[in-house]
A and B are shown apart, each in its own frame.
Chain A
Amino acid sequence: MLRHIAGRVGQAIVATFGVLTMVFFVMRLSGDPTLLLVPEGATAEQIAALRHQLGFDRPLVVQYGAYLADLARLDLGESLVQRAPVAGIVGERIPYTMALAAGSLVVALGIGIPAGIAMAVWRGSVLERALAAFVLTGQSLPTFWSGILLILLFGVNLGWLPTSGADSLGSLVMPSVALGALTMSTFARMTRIAVLDELSRDYVAAARARGLSLAAAVGRHVLRNAAIPVVTVTALEVGNLLAGAVIVETVFAWPGIGQLAIQSIAARDFLVVQTVVLFVSVVYVGTNLLADLAYAAIDPRIRMGA
């Protein structure tokens, strides 16, 4: 077990290192950051002077070495645009994205799992077809569009919820629904498959033969077994939520790291972009690692390498 954990942690570190290396080089190979930082009317001499001041005229490998050395000291640098420490700029936004991810998970789990169970238990019924249509809608609507629809309906026409911002709990509702919709569909489909799979097992037939009601059989036995794949998917979906947050946060003016990424790209604040990408990949690799380890803890066949 320990060897298994060590192996997985090692892989995670390699993956994170690979990502930060790639981000570093891709962001520099696409062009000289100096060109993005100078005003339009700057002369060639002014550009050259700034390039030298910022150290972008050094060989790429030297810059990479300096970046790694800074990173090792947990120094993420100073934003060239905002003139403030990058760690603070990104750190301030993380709680917002965490709140949004949590809200979305509540929506996704709260609707997706009951819907999935209902679709499996009442398979072939009108209810299943209605729920399937609902799930398909959640999966197909692009968030930039569903977000605007939500704003028009609940914000403008009904006036129930604030149209934008982050100043009340109400502000969190619509972004959570918009972002949670896709994940909700994934949960519903996963739960349906897992429950259906378990329902066809002999132990369910045996339980029913003992006189257990369907509800009791599902509640006591099926759900416990069906939970394993759902737990795994939850961890993996965190990555998707972070990716989706880029759009949802922009539409709803929610000040998380997704919105920060877009603003920093527009403002050409490339050190901030680099740090956001690094953060997202660390979260992604981290949740995958957790899922891996949780899976191994639950299912002995995996840690034995069978």
Chain B
Amino acid sequence: MMRALGLLFLGLMLATPAFAQKDGLVVDLPGDVATMDPHLQWDTDSYTVYRNIFDNLVTRDATGKIAPQVATAWRYADDRTIVFDLRTDITFHDGSRLTPEDVVFSVQRIINPAFRSPQLSQFDQIVSAEVTGPAQVTLHTKTPYPALMAQLVKLSIVPKAVVEKLGDQRFNQEVVGSGPFRLRAWQRGVQTVLDANDAYWRGKPAFRSVTFRAVPDASTRIADLRTGRADITRGLSPDDAEALKSERALQLLTVPTERIAYMFVNAQAGPTKDKRVRQAIAMAVDRDTIITALQQGYAKPVNIVLTPANFGYVPDVKGWPHDPAKARALIKEAGAEGATLQFLTSPAYDRRLNEAVQQMLGEVGLKVDIVTMDQPTYLRRRQGTPEEAGSLSQGRWSCACQDADGVIFPLFRSGSIWSKFANPAFDAEVDAARTILDPGKRLEHYRRAFEILRDEVPGIGLFQDVAIYAARRELKWAPTANEAFFVMDMKWQP
């Protein structure tokens, strides 16, 4: 406590100038870093910072294709064994060389259940990792696992010797990576400062330092941008974006993400157990109005519960048209006129969307009862039995893997905690698609899976979410669908 008091007064004395220096970049984030250790939390604010400190086994290029990073090449020895060739010219910030042992250690660390990584479910298809050559590692998966490379995009390589020397708790405070920036200071709740790693193997970063500040309120982040206190910020709403359009010194950077806004429809209990009611709901919800009125155009229409940024997206499976008259007739046919649907929600979700759906369904003869509860209660009911899960709820889903397997498997595969839908034909398609490697064959399975989902409507794709950043006009950067924030890819425009 006295140390913190001292830090506070030190901070007060070393008052930094309000304007960002040109050779440093200042980023306003909605929150502080939860963990600096890249094998722990995977929330946007944390990874926005720590992914600049580490290298990943593989990465994605500007077009979204998997590209080499620490690994230069990879090949399947058999359908459960993947061999990676590694670079030999990467050094960590402490000067030690990045070796195959570090890669194996990183894999084993994140899949060790005792380590309790919140990212475990992303990597638990990997059974083991071993060093198989001076610059080679081999991974073994439980089954043939097509999403493996997409998951490995997120695997940061940590230095084995440093982690073992410092221990997990201290490593989390004093991380050492091999990325373009090294940690200078982490002032909890206030800011994280990174310095450029001039010895970086991909070249010198364009900025001498990066400061990530924690500024929770969007209006304050915008004020920071307008006064030059910050150079770029993320997490803006469509309303914020509209208000910023007239600012000549600033630019909006937007990108459709892999996050799908969807509505859950309970296929196993209540009035929506009848397929006709679910189909009627799909026709009653006016998704164009939601996109133009609620999202102010900062969203892309989708035909299915998946975005085009994910593998497995099939553009030609038709979505339901907006047709209230047909919806009303179908509800009458099902004898569900005036039926009450429970719309479960929590303060974490956009209230306006709940109310818009309530009104749209009211117009076709369904009464929607919006039930708001705290997040733990919401999760308990939504993940509980079909009887307690309510008829409807909304969500925004991202698997951070850009693959259909991470979306429709947890949402609709029978037996998954989120699914209130049991369809053996659908299960067979998604089960098959997750254990074969051939992309063409997988796509065929997903096409059939989405055709079943279209007919059965256990959920409705509302729109593809758009990430909104605002930055000084001089900053050159193109945001990506996976919401990665690599400062290495940014620079001032000449």
Q: In the bound complex, how far is the Cα of B410 from the Cα of A129, in angstroms?
A: 64
Are A156 and B227 CB-contacts (below 8 A) given A148-B219, A260-B189? Answer: yes
Contact of B220 among A47, A253, A267 (CB under 8 A): A253
B37 is an interface residue with CB less than 8 A from chain A: yes
State whether A92 touches B189 (Cβ < 8 A).
yes
Are A41 and B8 CB-contacts (below 8 A) given A162-B18, A253-B220? Answer: no
A75 is an interface residue with CB less than 8 A from chain B: no
Contact of A40 among B28, B31, B172, B410 (CB under 8 A): B410
Q: In the bound complex, how far is the Cα of B219 from the Cα of A83, in angstroms?
A: 31
Are A36 and B417 CB-contacts (below 8 A) given A164-B229, A165-B213, A251-B220? Answer: no
State whether B121 touches A36 (Cβ < 8 A).
no
State whether A35 touches B380 (Cβ < 8 A).
yes
Are A253 and B216 CB-contacts (below 8 A) given A30-B376, A32-B380, A162-B229? Answer: yes
- How many A residues touch B, CB cutoff 8 Å? 59
Q: In the bound complex, how far is the Cα of B13 from the Cα of A169, in angstroms?
A: 8
Binds B, one of A64-72, A93-101, A224-232: A93-101
Q: In the bound complex, how far is the Cα of B233 from the Cα of A163, in angstroms?
A: 14
Specify the chain A residue showing the minimal Cβ separation from B114.
A53
Q: In the bound complex, how far is the Cα of B448 from the Cα of A47, in angstroms?
A: 30
Are A163 and B227 CB-contacts (below 8 A) given A253-B213, A255-B189? Answer: yes
Enumerate chain A residues within 8 angstroms of B4, measured Cβ to Cβ: 91-95
Specify the chain A residue showing the minimal Cβ separation from B191.
A165
A166 is an interface residue with CB less than 8 A from chain B: yes
Enumerate chain B residues within 8 angstroms of A95, measured Cβ to Cβ: 1, 4-5, 8
| Min CB gap B269→A, angstroms | 18
State whether B8 touches A91 (Cβ < 8 A).
no
Specify the chain B residue showing the minimal Cβ separation from A33.
B376
State whether B121 touches A39 (Cβ < 8 A).
yes
Q: In the bound complex, how far is the Cα of B377 from the Cα of A39, in angstroms?
A: 16
| Min CB gap B225→A, angstroms | 9
State whether A167 touches B11 (Cβ < 8 A).
yes
Enumerate chain B residues within 8 angstroms of A262, measured Cβ to Cβ: 216
A221 is an interface residue with CB less than 8 A from chain B: no
| Min CB gap A279→B, angstroms | 12
Residue-wise, chain B 177-196 has the 8 Å CB interface mask toward A (1 for contact) of 00000000001111100000
Q: In the bound complex, how far is the Cα of B32 from the Cα of A267, in angstroms?
A: 10
State whether B223 touches A151 (Cβ < 8 A).
yes
Q: In the bound complex, how far is the Cα of B1 from the Cα of A250, in angstroms?
A: 22
State whether B8 touches A83 (Cβ < 8 A).
no
B42 is an interface residue with CB less than 8 A from chain A: yes
Specify the chain B residue showing the minimal Cβ separation from A93.
B189
State whether A92 touches B121 (Cβ < 8 A).
no
Interface residues of B in 75-126 (CB under 8 A from A): 113, 116, 118-122, 124
Q: Which 4 A-B pairs have the closest CB atoms?
A: A31-B376, A255-B189, A168-B15, A253-B215
